């Protein structure tokens, strides 16, 4: 596995079970569901701050909140 492309995260077991259930209902893999949740959150925050999604991501990755 390419460590530059994939990372592992620890998730509480109850959260994992909920993630599995949500993923199953939406016909997604858990990893895809996490990506969707992150994307939705970034979009929401960018809209809230009235900036583009790309600008918000750039700001996040540069360590500025």
29: its two tokens = 């893999």
Domain count, the chain: 1
- Stretch (H or E) spanning 34: helix 30-49
User: Which residue range(s) make up the domain with 37?
Assistant: 30-65
Indicate whether 60 belongs to any domain: yes
Provide the pLDDT for residue 6.
86
31: its two tokens = 């990893």
Provide the pLDDT for residue 65.
58
Indicate whether 42 belongs to any domain: yes
Neighbours of 43 (CB within 10 A): 12
| Whole-angstrom distance, CA of residue 50 vs CA of residue 63 | 19
pTM above 0.85, yes or no: no
Indicate whether 39 belongs to any domain: yes
Provide the pLDDT for residue 28.
85
Provide the pLDDT for residue 39.
95
pLDDT tens-digit profile, the chain (65 residues): 788 888 888 999 999 999 999 999 888 888 898 999 999 999 999 999 999 999 999 999 998 65
């Amino acid at each position: 596995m390419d460590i530059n492309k994939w990372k592992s995260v620890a998730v509480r077991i109850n959260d994992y079970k909920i993630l599995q259930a949500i993923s199953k209902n939406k016909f997604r893999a858990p990893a895809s569901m996490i990506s969707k949740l992150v994307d939705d959150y970034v979009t929401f925050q960018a809209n809230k701050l009235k900036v583009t999604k790309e600008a918000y991501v750039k700001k996040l990755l540069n360590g500025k909140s």
